[in-house]
């Protein structure tokens, strides 16, 4: 696993071969962050939530690029331990790895984030419901952005918060935005 840009640029972390996680490819990750740079300056106090964090590849990239705070939620104990190890190696306190079920975490979370990324297993039966759950749980700040990584068989273009779709090889990203109402609250 390689960090593409930022203060940890070119750092590599060896992911154990026994891991079940399918990390986002470097090619897809680099292109994703190129697109995200049009939405955010990550060094400007941005808070982020990484759901189904897996190896922590997106979390370390967010920290490297200057995110103020990243919460990485991963259920698997080995994957969680790996994320903790990576964050200790780079000596950062900007990432909080949590070992938890993503759906339970979303229901109980009272914090709101500028950016949310979710990379669930493509075969997860609840995957199509994740955008609705993110908005129902009010996890995004007004104007916040949610990116869902998924397989080619899903299309979210009709979702009321859908903004755009990008694909890089077999990796697909759907972007969703929390709109601001006149009173500054995100629409649901």
Domain covering 26-177 in this structure, CATH number: 3.40.50.150
pLDDT in tens, 49-69: 999 999 999 999 999 999 999
Residues 138 and 188: beta-carbon distance below 8 Å: yes
The rounded mean pLDDT for the chain is 92
Residues 171 and 25: beta-carbon distance below 8 Å: yes
* Six token digits for residue 172: 């697909």
* Six token digits for residue 114: 């500028």
How many CA atoms lie less than 13 Å away from 135 in the CB half-sphere?
A: 22
Say what the pLDDT of residue 185 is: 52
Task: Tell me which residue of 147, 80, 87, 88 sits closest to 120, measured CA to CA.
Answer: 147
| Helices marked H in the chain | 26-36, 57-64, 77-89, 102-108, 130-136
Q: Examine the pLDDT at 21 and tell me if it is beyond 90.
A: no
Say what the pLDDT of residue 79 is: 95
Q: Examine the pLDDT at 11 and tell me if it is beyond 60.
A: yes
Task: Tell me which residue of 116, 100, 149, 120 sits closest to 47, measured CA to CA.
Answer: 116
Contacts of 123 (CB under 8 A, 6+ apart): none
Q: Examine the pLDDT at 36 and tell me if it is beyond 90.
A: yes
pTM of the full predicted structure? 0.93
Mean of pLDDT values over 90-97: 97
Q: Label residues 75-110 b or e (16+ Cβ within 10 Å = b).
A: beeebbebbbebbeebebebbebbbbebbebbeebe
Q: How confident is the model at residue 180 (pLDDT cuts 50, 70, 90)?
A: confident
């Amino acid at each position: 696993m390689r960090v593409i840009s930022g203060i940890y640029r070119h750092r590599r972390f060896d992911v154990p071969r026994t891991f079940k996680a399918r990390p986002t490819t470097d090619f897809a990750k680099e292109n994703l962050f190129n697109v995200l740079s049009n939405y955010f300056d990550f060094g400007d106090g941005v808070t982020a939530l990484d759901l189904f964090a897996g190896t922590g590849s997106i979390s370390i990239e967010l920290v490297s690029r200057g995110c103020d705070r990243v919460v990485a939620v991963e259920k698997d104990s080995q994957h969680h331990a790996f994320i903790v190890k990576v964050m200790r190696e780079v000596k950062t306190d900007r990432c909080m790895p949590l070992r938890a079920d993503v759906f339970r975490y979303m229901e109980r979370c009272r914090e709101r984030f500028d950016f949310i990324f979710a990379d669930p297993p493509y075969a997860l039966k609840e995957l199509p419901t994740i955008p609705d759950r993110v908005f129902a749980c009010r996890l995004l700040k007004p104007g916040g952005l949610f990116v869902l990584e998924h397989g080619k068989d899903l299309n979210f273009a009709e979702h009321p918060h859908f903004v755009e779709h990008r694909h890089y090889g077999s990796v697909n990203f759907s972007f969703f935005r929390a709109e601001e109402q006149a009173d500054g609250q995100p629409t649901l």
